[in-house]
Amino acid sequence: MRLLTVGGVIAYRALFNWTTPSMFVGTLLVGPLFQLLFFAFLGRQLGVASDSFYIVGNAVLAASVACVFGGTMAVSNERRYGTLGHVLLSPRPRTLVFLGRAVPYAGNGLLIAAFTLTVGSLVLGLRVPLGAIPGLAVTLAVGSLSCAFFGLTLGALGLRFRDVWLVSNVSISLLLLLTGVNVPADHLPAWMRVVGGGLPITHSAEAARRLVAGDGFGAAMPALGKEFAVGVAYAVVAAALLKVFEAESRRRASLDTL
């Protein structure tokens, strides 16, 4: 447990040695807020769905930039800055080392999602029932964790492929389309709904919408359970990929090849 948490926190602090507060505010707080406003106004103009649909959906999605890029950076930056060999020389289990990296990013994602939901609601006048707040906190946390493990899976690809940032950028834009955050799922083709069901955010956005609508935690539970399952699945895939790619990069002596 100590390895999981302390290792993650140290890696997170190291990242913020070169990620400045202005970068944090600009990229992770202001950016997602404008994304929310963009889709809320577009949705209003087209009459696709209510403001509530866009505020809640985009607030849940707001965690994705921090979590997906964070998870990716957790692995690929080790390679970029030449520290991957040191990490892999450690006699501790890599799975724990790397899975621990995802936890602070998930915490970060939760903070960003909560900020986006709060400010978005204040700006566009959405009233969130007080009773829904604890359930929303759990939902945003599960969504963020699931997203961070998804990011870690992409980061694991960084052990094998050179340009993992391309994959991350494309994945972020696919989340916009496939999670049903901006286009109601029933307007998407069946295959997109199936793919979206296997992505993080989709089910937590649904759970959050149920909570904000006042349906209660019980009504949100099935979707929340699915989001949790998706997160666990990505954690397992990330751990497996890290193991396979580490072994392969040792065999091919390509660990630090950029």
Partner 1 sequence: MSVLRLIGRGTLLHVKQLSRSQFEIATALFVPLVQATLAVYLFRAGSEPHRLLEAAVGAGMMAVWSSVLFGSGGAIQNQRWQGTLEMLMLAPRPPALLVFPITLATAVTGTYAMIATLLWGGLVYRIPLDVADPLAFAVSVPAAILGLGMFGLLLASTFVLLPNANAINNTLEYPIWLVSGMLVPITVLPGWTGPIGAVLPTTWAARAVRESVTGSGPVWPSLGVCLALSFVCLVAGALVMSYVERRARANATLALA
Measured from the CB atom, the residue of 38 and 81 that comes closer to partner 1 is 38
Residues near partner 1 (CB under 8 A) are 20, 22-23, 25-27, 30-31, 34-35, 37-38, 41-48, 163, 165-166, 169-170, 173-174, 176-177, 182-184, 187-188
Q: What is the closest distance, in whole angstroms, from the C-beta atom of residue 111 to partner 1 in the complex?
A: 17
Residue 55 or 103 having the CB closest to partner 1: 55
Closest CB 105 distance from partner 1, rounded Å: 17
Find the shortest distance in angstroms from Cβ 24 to partner 1.
8
Nearest-approach distance from CB 23 to partner 1, in angstroms: 4
Residue 191 C-beta-side C-alpha neighbours within 13 Å:
0
Euclidean distance between CA atoms 117 and 106, whole angstroms: 16
State the maximum Cα–Cα separation within the chain, in Å, rounded to a whole number: 58
Q: CA 160 to CA 65: how far, in whole Å?
A: 22
Closer residue to partner 1 in complex, CB, 25/244: 25
Smallest distance from partner 1 to CB 180, Å? 10
Question: Which of the 8 DSSP states describes residue 27?
Answer: I
Q: How far is CA 35 from CA 39, 127, 200, in A?
A: 6, 20, 18
Nearer to partner 1, 20 or 90 (CB): 20
> Least CB distance from residue 66 to partner 1, whole Å?
12
Cβ-count burial of 9 within 10 angstroms (0-12 exposed, 13-18 middle, 19+ buried)?
A: middle
CA distance 27 to 206: 25
* Orientation angle between helical segments 2-18 and 94-124, nearest 10 degrees: 60
In terms of CB distance, is 68 or 145 closer to partner 1? 68
Closest CB to partner 1 among 54 and 98?
54
| Residue tagged 């963009």 (tokens) | 38
